[in-house]
Structure 1
């Protein structure tokens, strides 16, 4: 059974490093949560290491720029591991071939910027669906439209045998008070229709491999038992941590705030019902990171 805590400081001395989700945990897509920022700053002041692990479909450098806009200070974290970087690495190694149909918005175009870490990278060309040999999906064309509007194009893509590289496995996020669809919803639909989707963010192994490399560059030798994963996504943050055998702290006041009846903290009975329904088992739970 999960332990409900009131502050990160109650358990933080058990861990040498944190893998911390961003959206719904540190910010809401508009601005930072001050208590979350303060908690991370306090943890780092004790010598702990904070690696932000996000399903953002962009590089860590682009995420860092975004964090400045959201008022998340640099002293709240040590490094960033992104689904975008994992996905870009796979793309430039030819995971979905060289001619790709891009699904996303103009602000997602940095996904295609060169990645110097890859030797002999594939030359990626964005083309129309009819000419494509693969699909890159950073998110819906319209994040407020039902993913089912893509069925026609996905049926054509599936019949052509195109693989879809999903740069963000999240299904939904809350931007302020507005819920938006993410790339994961499209990849899920494509898979349900018989297409093949490739994932590189939480809860899948590639992003955790990247996060561990980022952590090892900061302080070698930290074992998984010394890492705590923090996030609000039951099927990304918590299920991913379970798959990696890493302890987790579930932020109930994010995507599951209604189901867990979270005010300051979740209702115990509602939380346990929710965890059983979603088949997840975080070691700890808290309303919001603080």
Structure 2
């Protein structure tokens, strides 16, 4: 079972850098978690580097503006790596063709702007589904509608052999007390229907490669044993960390508070945590109720 810790400071000296999830750890979609902010400030004051590694389907500049509005100050982190940036590189390198059908909200459309790091980008054109060569999926059109509402469109896409580029592998997210579907749920459905989805965020390798490059740009890249991942998603943050050979801290008070017996502001129940880990067949290095 994961070692339950009282605070991030309890393990901070073991690591030179932290790859920290945003939604569910640093904020809840509505406002920042003050204790998490202070924990990262303290870690940086001790010399640690904080890379915010998020499955947000948008460029890092957009995410930086968003978290500032939510109350996460610039002095609590060093760099940002987003699923959106990793996926945009693939899009503008031609991974799914040049004519694409776009899924997502108005705020996600910055995804269709070519990243600076791609030389000679493929000209990408947004078109109706019937004219498309591939699907860009930043999220559902309605985050509260069950993914099954997309079956008719996905049947057409599958029949045409389209690939779906998933800019956010998260299945669900909690915006305050409101649970919403994410792009990962749509990609999972498309896979189950026999289509092919391409993934770039956690738990998949491209975003960790990007995070390491962001970290290296800050100075010397520490060895993997000196990097810890922090997140509340067992199938994204923890699975990804394990796959990369990195230690990880599971924040149990987020998506899986009920399953781990974590009360608001409290710590996970050891018995419930052990049962949860056994059911998921996955164990984190450490666990904590809330990042603090």
Task: Tell me the TM-score range normalised by the shorter chain.
Answer: over 0.9
- Equivalent residue, structure 2, for 1:79: 79
- Equivalent residue, structure 1, for 2:179: 179
Within 5 A, what are the aligned runs for 1:218-257?
218-257=218-257
The Cα offsets for residues 214-254 of structure 1, whole Å up to 9 and x where unpaired, read as 00111223111000000000000000000000000000000
Separation (CA, whole Å) in 1 of partners of 2:220 and 2:194: 42
Uncovered stretches (5+) of structure 2, i.e. residues with no partner: none
Compute the TM-score of the two structures, normalised by the length of structure 1: 0.99
- Equivalent residue, structure 2, for 1:267: 269
- Equivalent residue, structure 2, for 1:289: 291
Aligned length: 290
Within 5 A, what are the aligned runs for 1:23-38?
23-38=23-38
DSSP-derived class of the 1:218 partner: coil
The Cα offsets for residues 112-157 of structure 1, whole Å up to 9 and x where unpaired, read as 1121211110000000000000000000000000000000110110
Q: Which runs of 4+ in 1 moved over 3 A?
A: none
The Cα offsets for residues 29-69 of structure 1, whole Å up to 9 and x where unpaired, read as 00000000000000000000000000000011000000111
- Equivalent residue, structure 2, for 1:258: 258
- Give yes or no for the alignment of 1:93 onto 2:118: no
Decide which moves more: 54-63 or 112-121. 112-121
Contact 2:215 2:221 in 1 (8 A): no
DSSP-derived class of the 1:14 partner: coil
- Give yes or no for the alignment of 1:106 onto 2:101: no
Report the Cα offset of residue 191 of structure 1. Answer: 0.1
Report the Cα offset of residue 280 of structure 1. Answer: 1.2
- Equivalent residue, structure 2, for 1:9: 9
DSSP-derived class of the 2:214 partner: helix
Uncovered stretches (5+) of structure 1, i.e. residues with no partner: none
Compute the TM-score of the two structures, normalised by the length of structure 2: 0.99
- Give yes or no for the alignment of 1:60 onto 2:60: yes
